[in-house]
């Protein structure tokens, strides 16, 4: 696994909890940056990061035809599910939802067309999107199968 070093102000005690929280806090940025190269290979187009706080997507193709919202999950939402949230308000503002699974030992990623993603299952008032943590097709079958059908094979330990 790669390491990233950060500077912490003097006087702050570095605890295991602080390290864990810092690692979780940086994952969305890592996912967005990793997503650039994955999208370029997957779609065969150049991509760039969207402006900060762009409603509905994090990446856009340079030609402007593909807008990708990037989500990642790194902890269990329930005992057997991974969850992503904060997607429902982005409906109609992107062409694809890209989901990184950083929970499992080997990261996995899926790029789901927006029209399929929003026809799948959402849970509760927060409209969480859940899928099986171990990719069991009988556990949250609609969402798990949608993730698997749109999974993109990635090469680990190689930035391209």
Could you list the pLDDT tens digit for every one of the 160 residues in the chain?
677 788 888 998 988 888 888 877 887 787 888 899 999 999 999 999 998 778 889 999 999 999 999 999 877 888 899 999 889 999 999 999 999 998 887 889 999 999 999 999 999 898 999 999 999 999 999 999 999 999 998 775 443 4
Q: pTM (2 decimals)? A: 0.85
Q: What is the full DSSP assignment across the chain?
A: ---------TT----HHHHHHHHHHHHHHHHHHHHHHHHHHHHSS-EEEPPTT-TT-SEEETTSS-EEEEEEE-SBSSSSEEEE-S-GGGTTS-SEEEEEE-SSSS-EEEEEEHHHHTTS--BTTTTBEEEETT--TTSSHHHHHHHHHTEE---TT---
Domains of the chain: 16-152 (3.40.1350)
């Amino acid at each position: 696994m790669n390491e990233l070093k950060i500077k912490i102000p003097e006087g702050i005690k570095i605890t295991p909890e602080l390290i864990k929280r810092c690692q979780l806090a940086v994952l969305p940025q890592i996912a967005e940056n990793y997503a650039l190269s994955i999208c370029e290979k997957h779609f065969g187009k150049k991509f760039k990061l969207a402006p900060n706080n762009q409603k509905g997507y994090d990446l856009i193709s340079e030609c402007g035809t593909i807008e990708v919202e990037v989500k990642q999950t790194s902890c269990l939402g329930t005992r057997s599910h991974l969850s992503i949230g904060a997607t429902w308000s982005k409906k109609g503002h992107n062409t694809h939802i890209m989901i990184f699974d950083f929970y499992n030992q080997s990261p996995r990623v899926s790029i789901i067309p927006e029209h399929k993603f929003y026809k799948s299952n959402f849970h509760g008032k927060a409209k969480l999107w859940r899928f099986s943590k171990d990719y069991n097709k009988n556990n949250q079958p609609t969402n798990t199968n949608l993730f698997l059908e749109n999974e993109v094979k990635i090469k680990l330990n190689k930035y391209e």
